[in-house]
A and B are shown apart, each in its own frame.
Chain A
Amino acid sequence: MKSMATDLREVFDRYEQAINDAVVELQNTLAYLTAVIDNMADGLLVTDTDGVITHVNPALSYMFALRETDLIGKNCRALFGNEFAELVRKSIDNSYEVYTSEIGLAHNRIGKAVATGIHQDTFETDDKGIGSVILIRDITSEKEVDRMKTDFISTVSHELRTPLTSIRGFTEIIKRKLEDDIFVKFPDDSDKKTGKAVKRIRENLDIIISEGERLTALINDVLDISKLEAGKVEWKMENIRPEDIIERAIGATSSLFEQKKLAFVRDIDNDLPYVIGDKDRFIQVVINLLSNAVKFTETGSVTCRVKKTGNEVTVSIIDTGIGISDADKEHVFEKFRQAGDTLTDKPMGTGLGLSICKQIIEYHGGRIWVESGLGKGSSFFFTLSINAKSGHTSAQVVDIITGGKA
């Protein structure tokens, strides 16, 4: 009997020791995790599914100049405003997505908040998760560097414009004066050397003029993309008829079609709804895609197709040109990247156009992509968001115009 009691005592002691060890290990782990969280340079904030703050670390308290007791138990909407609360709500509703937003911090500093939903398999919470964890990084310095970069680019662009004006202007005047007053004195039957010199001068002046135009476009594009990247673009959001965007872009590019004698096919759906966005910027996108299509197409046609697809309007610019290889396709929307070998192929444009298009479309919540193959032509697509409040009907227009009367 005694021996049994001793045995039980030993078992009990062993379990007690094991539990004590586990508790100590758990406490150590907890202390370790707390130390990690408390020593993070980024601010950490945890909320429950109602957006009520359940945990913060010291970095976060410091960022907002608030004590932990001022934060815990408070709703983040009341403390940090609607935009932040929306970020938290979205991360809870779609707990497998990552959402980011900028947030104002104390002492005029700026933070970037990255929110994800917390989902724990053992909890019965469907897909909604059990709360949200938000990391906030102070990006004030990065923003300042960005601002300085944009200001610098803006200043340089302005400073370049004045000498470029003189170069382009005087070149055109020289060409004009040569044509009106000098070349007329050398008729076509002039001696061979003079005739050749006149031809060369004419060609060279045209090169200076067209390169001046290219440089102007490059300066405009560099300024444009730096403003887009810095979020300094003033967007004029309005309800727009998709047809208006297309017509304006076609009007602006009609001379390009004339020059290359390409057929232009217009395939615009009827009953197109209004879309919402910055009209001039959408026109800029279509002009860019149409110009690219003409630039890389020697024979055949360019089609502009506009269709309603679900809750969006999809615009397609389809050409029968040289196409893009699979390797190049991944990079066409990157800055200064064009299809082909940049060392051997002369660049045909600024190399910024598609990158600008991507920024514009994505700002509006749309998508832009390309389908292409070498020698198979290219199809560029982008989507526009429908303004559900407006209704609009128009007759379907499908016509084919050859020779540039686009």
Chain B
Amino acid sequence: MPKILIVDDDPVIRNLLEQILEPFEEHGVELMTAENGVIALEAVRRERFDIIFLDVMMPKLNGFEVCKIVKNDNEMKDIYIIMLTAKGQEVDKQKAKDVGVDCYITKPFNISELIGTVEKVLDIRTTWGD
């Protein structure tokens, strides 16, 4: 079954993403959360994920560093990484591109677009857009 990992140091944002992605659980998708980059990497090394929602500014290991490690690892490089961040400047977007981020979404984001992206990656159709 597909798995999504939500990585953000803000519990409110983790909670929000879990609720937004709830419709995918009906399709057997498993949601997991991590509060920083180190815990996220432990989880990704332990089990296989299809998508990671990754914040940038986090203690211990930031989102760029996590992405770089994942994308440089043959076992993990195919995981689709959605960077979800308040940093919307061109320089940040370029940095994300350089470390291999697949999709860059700036906070505050459009829920329909976010769900649409996940639907496309997992090839699942939820009822959100109906």
A residues apposed to B, CB below 8 Å: 158-159, 161-166, 168-170, 172-173, 176, 212, 216, 220, 234
- 28 pairs, A vs B, C-beta closer than 8 Å: A158-B86, A159-B86, A161-B86, A161-B106, A161-B108, A162-B10, A162-B13, A162-B107, A164-B108, A165-B13, A165-B16, A165-B86, A165-B108, A166-B13, A166-B16, A168-B108, A169-B16, A169-B108, A169-B109, A169-B111, A170-B19, A173-B19, A173-B20, A176-B128, A212-B108, A216-B108, A220-B88, A234-B91
A-facing mask of B100-112, CB < 8 A → 1, else 0? 0000001111010
Task: Output the nearest chain A residue to B12 by Cβ-Cβ distance.
Answer: A166
Task: Output the nearest chain B residue to A219 by Cβ-Cβ distance.
Answer: B108
B residues apposed to A, CB below 8 Å: 10, 12-13, 16, 19-20, 86-88, 90-91, 106-109, 111, 128
Chain B residues near A158 (CB, 8 Å)?
Answer: 86-87
Task: Output the nearest chain B residue to A212 by Cβ-Cβ distance.
Answer: B108
Count the A-B residue pairs with Cβ separation under 8 angstroms: how many? 44
- Please tell me if the beta carbons of B19 and A162 are within 8 angstroms of each other in the complex: no
Known: A158-B86, A158-B87, A234-B90. A164 touches B107 (CB 8 A): yes
Known: A172-B111, A212-B108. A162 touches B16 (CB 8 A): no
Task: Output the nearest chain B residue to A213 by Cβ-Cβ distance.
Answer: B108
Chain A residues near B91 (CB, 8 Å)?
Answer: 234
- Bound form: Cα–Cα A1–B17 in Å: 118
- Bound form: Cα–Cα A166–B15 in Å: 9
Q: How far is the CB of A182 from chain B (nearest CB, A)?
A: 16
Known: A158-B87, A234-B90. A165 touches B107 (CB 8 A): yes
Q: Which 3 A-B pairs have the closest CB atoms?
A: A161-B86, A165-B108, A165-B107
Chain B residues near A172 (CB, 8 Å)?
Answer: 111
Chain A residues near B12 (CB, 8 Å)?
Answer: 163, 166
- Bound form: Cα–Cα A74–B91 in Å: 41
Q: How far is the CB of B130 from chain A (nearest CB, A)?
A: 10
- Bound form: Cα–Cα A172–B129 in Å: 13
Known: A169-B20, A173-B20, A234-B90. A161 touches B107 (CB 8 A): yes
- Bound form: Cα–Cα A216–B108 in Å: 7
Task: Output the nearest chain B residue to A154 by Cβ-Cβ distance.
Answer: B89
Chain A residues near B86 (CB, 8 Å)?
Answer: 158-159, 161-162, 165
- Bound form: Cα–Cα A170–B111 in Å: 10
- Bound form: Cα–Cα A212–B106 in Å: 15
- Please tell me if the beta carbons of B16 and A170 are within 8 angstroms of each other in the complex: yes
Chain A residues near B20 (CB, 8 Å)?
Answer: 169, 173
Chain A residues near B13 (CB, 8 Å)?
Answer: 162, 165-166
Chain A residues near B108 (CB, 8 Å)?
Answer: 161, 164-165, 168-169, 212, 216
Q: How far is the CB of B36 from chain A (nearest CB, A)?
A: 16
Q: How far is the CB of B27 from chain A (nearest CB, A)?
A: 17
- Bound form: Cα–Cα A71–B101 in Å: 53
Chain B residues near A159 (CB, 8 Å)?
Answer: 86
- Bound form: Cα–Cα A344–B34 in Å: 49
- Bound form: Cα–Cα A281–B88 in Å: 16
- Bound form: Cα–Cα A165–B90 in Å: 20
Chain B residues near A220 (CB, 8 Å)?
Answer: 88
Given pairs A162-B107, A220-B88, A234-B90, 5 additional interface contacts (CB within 8 A): A164-B107, A164-B108, A169-B109, A173-B19, A216-B108
- Bound form: Cα–Cα A173–B12 in Å: 14
- Bound form: Cα–Cα A165–B15 in Å: 12
- Please tell me if the beta carbons of A165 and B109 are within 8 angstroms of each other in the complex: yes
Chain A residues near B10 (CB, 8 Å)?
Answer: 162
Task: Output the nearest chain B residue to A174 by Cβ-Cβ distance.
Answer: B19
